[in-house]
Amino acid sequence: MKRKSVIDIKEMKSKTPIVCLTAYTATIGRFLDNEADLLLVGDSLGMVLYDHENTLTVTLQQMINHSQAVVKSTSKACIVTDMPFGSYEESVDKAFKNAAKVMKETNCNGIKLEGGRNMFETVKYLTDRSIPVMGHIGLQPQSVIIDGGYKVKGRNKFDWDKYIDDAIAIEEAGAFSVVLEGMAEPLAAEITSRISIPTIGIGASPNCDGQVL
């Protein structure tokens, strides 16, 4: 079997539940390769492997090193690498430089970055230049300090418009999928029905196109 591509993942929308798991090492990547459609080398490795308080101290080089290990140890799953805090927010040029470095040095299938409407220009700039992007909205771990902690989004229906707009913006910018994290079930279901790219839920109910654990 050839490795699943981002196009394969995108085409699974509303057809087959997408299995996504995190992998940070060659051992885990090899073990999960037959079980998952998509493996995410998440910046959560800072907390899981390095005992950091949050994801903010993870470096670009750490993400590259761990992604290299996961890519080399797998042959079937689509591999997506998290862009760590500070590696893409400053400008579209910096985002492209760092995302291209990740793609070239790891041979992963795409990158993930956090943000909705505020990241529209960045996502579009990257996708227009052949870098596949997975979005990430709702609870955003890289914003945990300014957000005041890990809080579920969308419990109040009056807040829904912002998150729906974020999802639509990420889709319109060219992303192939979007993670919905820490999101109330009815909102996650509404977003999943409103956009044509897959939603990958983490703490966002089974009403998404896939789940990441």
The catalytic residue positions are: 181
* H or E element in which residue 79 lies: strand 78-82
Long-range contacts of 55-62 (CB under 8 A, 24+ apart): 55/84, 55/85, 55/141, 55/142, 55/144, 56/85, 56/142, 56/144, 56/145, 58/84, 58/85, 59/84, 60/84, 60/87, 60/98, 60/101, 60/102
